[in-house]
Amino acid sequence: MNRKTILGFVAGVVITLGLLVSVPDSVVQVATGTTQDTSMVPALSPTKALPDRDVYFPGTEDLLPDEMRITACGTGMPSARPKQAAACFLVELGNGDKFLFDIGSGSHERIAAMKIPYDFLDKVFIGHLHVDHYGDLPTFWLGGTVMNRLTPLRIWGPSGSKPEYGTQYAMDRMQEMYAWDIGTRSGVVDFRGGELEVNEFPFDGVNAVIYDENDVVIRSIPAVHGLDGAVSFILEWNGLKFVYGSDTYPNKWFIEHAKGADFAIHECFLPPTLLVTKQGFGPLEALTVGTQGHTSPEQFGKVMSLVEPRIAVAYHFYNDFDIEPEVRDRVRKTYDGPLSTAVDYMVWNVTKDNIRVRMAAKDEEVWPSPALKEKIAPDFRDAINFSEFTLSGMENFPEVVEPLYEEINKIYGTDFKPGL
C-alpha cells in the first residue's frame, strides 16, 4: 500500500469503530474530518442546552410567586478569605421583596454576583454589631451610590444595654467616619442612594414584630452572644418561615420561636480540637470560644433536634474538604434531620412542597445594572472645592481632555465643557 492508501485504510477503520462502538468524541471528530456525514455528529455530541443544569445562574431564573430563594453570600469566619466571606444571607421572595441578613466582611462581592439592581437591595437586617456581621456595610452603602442605587438604604438592628452599644449609635458614627468619602460625592453624583434609614429596635423583644410590609413579617428574638444586643430574626411570608440566627449560644428563644421553621440557619462553630490544630488557639481559648462564646456542632445538633426545621443550615466555620466531614459527624451525634453545611454561593429554593439545594455559578466579570430611575444631574455648586494649594498642583492636558468632551458631546448631542 502506498502512503495515501494506508491513511485511507486507517481512517476507514476509525470511522467504522466510531459507528459501531463508543470511542472518545475527540477520536471520532478527528477521524471524520470532511469524509464523514456531519449529520452523524449530534447523536454523539449534543448541540442543545441541557434542560436542567443543576446549577443556579444568577439573573437567569424567574422566582415563582410562592417561592423563596436563599443565597449564602457569607458563611465563614471573621476573617474573610477567597472561598468564604463572613456572615451574610440573601433572601428573595416571590413577591419581589429582597432582604439581606447580616453583611459581613467580604460579602459585598457575593451580593454583587447575584446581579440584582442595587435599588432592590435596600433592606439590611443586622443581628449584632460584630465586624464579621456588618463589616461590608460601608462599602455596600457608599459603593452602592456609584453602582446606580438611587434608593435610601434601610437598616434594622438591635439596641444595646446602653446607647453606644446600639445600632443607631453605630450608624451615626459610620456616617461620621466616612465624612470625607461623602464629601467627595457632594455635587458630583446623584447621592439619593447614600441616605440611610436606621431602624433600631429593642434587643430584648421576644418574637417582637420589627418589620411588617407587603405581607412580609419579620420578628426578632434575643440571642446570647458577646454582650446584650445580639438578636436572631424570623421572617414569615406566604406560609413559609425563615429563621436566621446570626451568632448565638444555644438559647430558649430560638428553640421556642424557630420551631417548625421551613428554613433555619444557626451558627455552628469549629469544634475545639480544630480550633487548636487549624487555627492555633490554646486549648482553654478553644473551649471558651468554641463552646461558651459560640455554638459547637454538637450543640447545634441539639438545637435543631428541638426546632425540627424542614432544613437546618450550619454556617460560621471554614468549610473545607478535611473539615466538613468532622463537623457533620459531630452534628450527627445529636441531630439526624435534613442538613446543609453552608458554603458561599450555596442556593436554596424553598416552596411548601420542595427544597432544592444548588450552587450558584458566579460571573467574575459582573457589572452593576443600570439605574432603575432617572438620575438627577448633580448641582456642581454643591461640590466642595479644593484649596488653592491643591489646585496649584493640577497639571491640565487640554489637548487630551477636550477631545474626550467633544467625543461625548458628539455622541449624546450635549455641550459639556471641562471643569466642575
Chain residues in the site for Zn ion (CB under 5 A): 130, 132, 247
Q: How far is the CB of 65 from Zn ion (least distance, A)?
A: 34
**At its nearest, how many Å lie between Zn ion and the CB of residue 174?**
18
Least Cβ distance, residue 266 to Zn ion (angstroms): 12
Nearest distance from C-beta of residue 186 to Zn ion, angstroms: 35
Q: Which residues pair with 346 in a beta bridge?
A: 359
Closest distance to Zn ion from the beta carbon of 303 (Å):
16
| β-bridge mates for residue 213, sequence order | 216
Nearer to Zn ion, 67 or 267 (CB): 267
CB-wise, 105 or 151, nearer to Zn ion?
105
Partners of residue 339 on adjacent β-strands: 312
State the minimum distance, in angstroms, from the CB of residue 252 to Zn ion.
Answer: 19
| C-beta of 142 vs 264, nearer to Zn ion | 264
Of the two residues 118 and 317, which places its CB atom closer to Zn ion in the complex? 317
The residue (of 132 and 190) whose beta carbon lies closer to Zn ion is: 132
Of the pair 150, 268, the CB lying nearest Zn ion is at 268
Q: Shortest distance, CB of residue 301 to Zn ion, whole angstroms?
A: 19
Residue nearer to Zn ion on the CB measure, 123 or 130: 130
